[in-house]
Each structure stands twice: as structure tokens, then as C-alpha cells.
Structure 1
Amino acid sequence: MINLVVLFLSTIVAFWISAICGGGASLILIPLLNFMLPSSLIPFSLTIGTFTSSVSRIIVFKRHINWKIFLWFVPFSIPAVLLGGYLIKYIEPSYLQLIVAFFLMGNIPQLFKSKNAALSSESKCSKSFLAIIGFLSGFISGITGAIGLLFNRFYLKMGLSKEEIIATRAANEVFLHLVKLIIYI
């Protein structure tokens, strides 16, 4: 019983922080879920939580959704999430989570760059590059259950504001999570 209370409160705090920061709930919840659930249930659990959080973000930030990015991202992410959801039977999610952790640690130096230096050194991504990012996001998300924070950098390269990143990512993720829930069930 105490595990459920801790999980419930941690989930609320994680998704609240995630809504403010533009992501990261899965980084908070994966260690806790690894402790409480078999690893095969973690992607499903994260998908339910992230879907709910994404819907609430859309309600709050719907006027900030960048529909051009959405229309390039989603069509390429859906087949990839299907592939990732299928391959989850054959890939140990812990290994992929380790790769994601190394990727995140590799991005730590970006935190210490000044905002102006970071923006001036990054050029806008092409639409074909965005389609590739959509595919990779869908594939990794299909396997791990959540991956959005890794791709915030690419939204920044597209020149989006903080609100546009939160709204556009939420709109993209709602479709991914619906497909994943169907696959996982």
C-alpha cells in the first residue's frame, strides 16, 4: 500500500515538474518503476502517465501548437512506434534506457552554454531532418515508453519558444501514446 502512495505522489510531482520544464518525468519515474514493477511493464506504465500529461498540456497550451512541425513529425513517428512496440518483445528495455542515459549525460555540457551562444551555434533543421527525428522518436518511444526530453533540442533548433515546445511535443506525443497503448494492450 505504501508503495502505491509513494508511486502516486512521485508521479504527480514528476509530471508537474515535467510540465514546467518541458519534459523529464520519465527520468524521475523510471528508477522508481524499476524498483516496483517488472521491466516489461515500465513502458506501458510510462505511456499511460505521459498520455494523460500530454492531454493536459494540450488543454493549457493548445494555441501554441506548431502545426507545420506536427504535420512533419507525426506521419513518420507512427510507423516507427509500431515497429518499436513490436520489437519491445525482443529488446531488453534496460539496455535502451542505458543508451538513453548516456545520451542525456552527453548533453550535460549544453546546460552550461549561455542561451545566446547555444542559439547562435544552432541552425534550423530541415523538414526532412524533422521527419527523421519523428521516426527516431517514435521508434525509441515504442520501446521505452517515453523519450520526449531527448528531442527538445531539435524543437529548439526549429526556433520554437518554450510554450511552443511544450504544446507541439504534447500534440505529437498524444498520437504516439494512443498507438502505443493499442500495441501494448
Structure 2
Amino acid sequence: MLTRYLPVFIVLSFIAEIIGTIGGFGSSVFFVPVANFFFDFQSVLGITALYHLSSNLSKIVLFKKGIDKKIIVSLGIPAVIFVSIGAYLSKYFDPKILTYFLGFFLISLSLVFLIFKHLHIQPKTKNAIVGGSLSGLSAGLLGTGGAIRGITLAAFRMNKDKFIATSAVIDMAVDSSRTVVYYLNGYMHKHDMYLVPILIAVSIIGTYIGKRILTRVSQEQFRNFVLILILLIGIISVIS
């Protein structure tokens, strides 16, 4: 089936990479729903982890001047710990129920921040730890935790480059951890490996185009764009 629709899959993955770069929290939030149309859920988790490693590496290279080391430690370490837990538990939970829960959570949270523009999460270490833990757990269970991480990072009012670079470094560590667990769970299949070099090319080109588009976007537009994307992700999660 995928051989027949491979061009469609590649185009949709390319769009997911561009939007994920502009939004600042990675392509998996869009790639996972797209891949679900072509693969079973466990295969989606395995392919997403491999694809995202390349995607994040591209972002780190292109946005490396904006990395915030303090946030990487406070948000990244709990994310890495909890993504391993989530990846292990993914065998035991119904992904449909979890997706509904995540969808309603993202819809509610994004609407609150869009309506009450001056409201924001306090940029404290404990909030970064909670956000990192939730995003890691979500990434392990559902294949994507970027939206939760995006909400958390938005609280720290980072500029665009710092937001994207910091998110990418954390995501890189998260993906490295869950890739190992997904492999041990048997989610990575030999017959899907031909997609990896294709998706690597998609991630590099898509990230570059996304960065070029970002140069034309103001900081306030960027923040609103992130929140609107998170709202759409929540709606898509519930509907799909």
C-alpha cells in the first residue's frame, strides 16, 4: 500500500517538517498522525524515533547559536527519564484513549493562553521539570511530546532561535532514549528501513526551508503560531 502512495507520504512528511520547524517543537506532532494512515501504531513509533533523530540534528546545526544550557538540564533530564518509562509502558496502554486525553489537554491549554494573552506559566525550574516529565512520558507513549514541551518553553519567553535550538537538543536526547526501547520492543522492522534515508533528506531540506520562513516572522507572531498549532494538534488528535 505504501509503495503506491509513497510520493504522498513523502510530501506530507516534508510539510510536517517545515511546519514543525516553524512551530519550534519538531515534526513528530504532525508526522505521527500522517504516518498513522500508512502504518500500524507500533511501526509509527519506531519510524518516528529514527526520523526525528535526523530532524533534530538538522535543527541543532542550523540554530545552534540559541541553545540554553540551563533549560536543557532542568527540562531535558526529566524528559529523557520519562520517555524511557513511556516507551516501555506503550505496550500496555490503549493508544486511542491516551490520544484523546492528550488532545483535550492541548486544546484546553492552548485556548487559555490564546484568550488570556498575558497569562503565562512561571519560568521556574520546578515548572520546567514538570513540563519535561510530561513531554517525555507523552513522547514515549504516543510518539510525540513536542506540543507539551512547546507550551513549557513558551513560558520562558525565549526568542525564536533559542526556542527551536533548545527544544531540538532536548528532543535529540529524548529520541535517542526511546529509540533503544522501541528497538527492544520490536517496533523497528527491516522492511521499513528503506524509508530512513528518504526521511533524512526530507528533514534536512524541510528544516532549512522552515528556518528561511522564520526570518520573516516576528516574535509575537511566532508565539501565536506555536499556540495555534498546538490547538490544531489537539483537535486533530481528538478527531482522528
Work out whether the TM-score is over 0.5.
Answer: yes
Larger deviation: 18-27 or 74-83?
18-27
Q: Report the alpha carbon displacement of residue 43 of structure 1 after superposing the two structures with TM.
A: 1.7
Q: Report the alpha carbon displacement of residue 110 of structure 1 after superposing the two structures with TM.
A: 4.8
Task: Say whether the 8 Å CA contact 1:39–1:94 is kept in structure 2.
Answer: no
Q: Which residue of 1 aligns with 2:134?
A: 136
Helix, strand or coil at the partner of 2:140: helix
Aligned residues: 181
| Percent identical | 24
How many Å separate the matches in 2 of 1:164 and 1:56? Answer: 15
Question: TM-score when scaled to structure 1?
Answer: 0.88
Give the aligned CA root-mean-square deviation in angstroms.
Answer: 1.9
Helix, strand or coil at the partner of 1:158: coil
Helix, strand or coil at the partner of 1:37: coil
Q: Report the alpha carbon displacement of residue 72 of structure 1 after superposing the two structures with TM.
A: 1.0
How many Å separate the matches in 2 of 1:147 and 1:123? Answer: 18
Q: Report the alpha carbon displacement of residue 27 of structure 1 after superposing the two structures with TM.
A: 4.1
Helix, strand or coil at the partner of 1:59: helix
**Closer/same/farther in 2, CA of residues 85 and 123 from structure 1, 3 Å limit:** closer
- 1:60-87 deviations in whole A, cap 9, x for unaligned? 1111011110011222122211111110
How many Å separate the matches in 1 of 2:112 and 2:62? Answer: 28
Aligned with 2:125 (options 127, 130, 149) = 127
Question: TM-score when scaled to structure 2?
Answer: 0.69
Helix, strand or coil at the partner of 1:125: coil
How many Å separate the matches in 2 of 1:111 and 1:79? Answer: 28
Give the aligned residue type for 1:62: K
Q: Report the alpha carbon displacement of residue 38 of structure 1 after superposing the two structures with TM.
A: 0.9
Aligned with 1:42 (options 17, 30, 44) = 44
**Closer/same/farther in 2, CA of residues 31 and 159 from structure 1, 3 Å limit:** closer
How many Å separate the matches in 2 of 1:18 and 1:80? Answer: 22
Q: Which residue of 2 aligns with 1:54?
A: 56
Return 5+ residue gaps in structure 1 as ranges: none
Q: Which residue of 2 aligns with 1:3?
A: 5
How many Å separate the matches in 2 of 1:125 and 1:132? Answer: 12
How many Å separate the matches in 1 of 2:99 and 2:124? Answer: 28
